[in-house]
Amino acid sequence: MRALITDAERAQLLGNDQDADPMPIVRLFTSDAHATWLLASLDPADGDTAQGLIDLGIGMPELGTVKLSDLASIVGPQGQPVMRDRYFQPMRRLSDYLRLAEENGSITD
Q: Could you read off the pLDDT of 73-92 as tens digits, one per residue? A: 988 889 899 999 999 999 99
- Cα distance between residue 73 and residue 67, in whole Å: 10
Q: What is the pLDDT of residue 19?
A: 75
Residues whose CB is less than 8 angstroms from the CB of residue 24 and which lie 6 or more positions away in sequence, other chains included? 38, 39, 40, 52, 53, 88, 90, 94, 97
Percentage of the chain exceeding pLDDT 70: 98
Banded pLDDT at 2 (limits 50, 70, 90): low
Q: What is the pLDDT of residue 25?
A: 96
Banded pLDDT at 48 (limits 50, 70, 90): very high
Contact yes or no for 22/93 (Cβ under 8 A): yes
- pLDDT over 60 (residue 22): yes
List the strands of the sheet with 62-67, edge to edge.
62-67, 49-55, 36-42, 26-29, 83-84
Contact yes or no for 12/42 (Cβ under 8 A): no
- pLDDT over 60 (residue 1): no
Q: CB burial class (10 A; 0-12, 13-18, 19+) of residue 36?
A: buried
